[in-house]
Amino acid sequence: MERFLIRTNKTKDADLKITGKIQEYLEKLGKNVSIELLDDEKIKLNETAERFKEGEQPDLVIVLGGDGTMLRAARDFMFVSVPLLGVNLGSLGYLTEVEVENVIPALDKVLNGEYEIEERMMLEGTFVKAGHEAGHVRALNDISVLKADPFRAIGFDISVNGKFLKDYSADGVIVSSPTGSTGYNLSAGGPIVEPGADLLVLTPVSPHTLMTRSIILSPKDVVEIKLKKPNGGGKYEALASADAAGKHHLESGDSFVVKRSEKRTKFVKVNSVSFLEVLSRKLS
């Protein structure tokens, strides 16, 4: 590897001390290093990164921050298929492979070829208004549709592959990837899934029903979430988001269609620690 991009959440590395340390180390080895700075506010926006010019695509993106920074990087770089190495400057850090005190030994492993590439499934969603496509999003963790009014549950109709599955009166619905199973899905009572798997997890948020279980679906399935009309008239309003970034307004009659993306995110793994060991450590 010769070309490196360091993407830093400057909210987490305010003085750029860690960023500078990595840059200096790689440049002393004759590597080409560029730096891109984001902050917590920009990370949450529904934007896309600039495309690399021909011949300037990095061999590796080193992501400094927490899980939110990694989620943003996954969405931004999915089209160029650049592997990501996460350095944890956050708290839990499910997605970040390396703790900050181990960053130089981890880079040595990468440069010596002592690493594996782990591919993760991604999601894509399309929201439809008045029968017409009104927007498109992509996510590594999850796509959720949540009520806009904090004091009013929403009626949802859920269909899979064009066939009606279930209706909910709930605070929202989450469609999660295996990677996202330890995120909002877990908080809503959904199952934990090994991140290398290929499947969809459908989880209602605070449903007003005895049926509160998540539903595991095939990665080939296409899920449609449609906002019903209230029995007493008026309309429901909801906000849809991908990886909790950006907000898309929906109302009764609108729908959100979610499926597996053809693109996958590549994570660099330099540790032999299994997902279950990481999970046990994080949850304790």
Rounded CA-CA distance 72/7 in Å is: 10
Rounded CA-CA distance 245/44 in Å is: 5
β-bridge pairing 223-227 and 200-205: unpaired
Inter-axis angle of helices 17-28 and 103-111, nearest 10:
30
Q: What is the DSSP letter of 119?
A: E
Do 214 and 181 contact (CB within 8 A), yes or no? no
Q: What is the DSSP letter of 101?
A: G
| Active-site residue, selected from the candidate residues 39, 59, 67, 108 | 67
Q: What is the DSSP letter of 79?
A: T
Cβ atoms < 10 Å from Cβ of 280 = 10
Q: Taking the CA of residue 199 as centre, how many other CA atoms within 13 Å lie in the half-sphere pointing to its CB?
A: 16
67 in active site? yes
Residues marked active site are found at 67
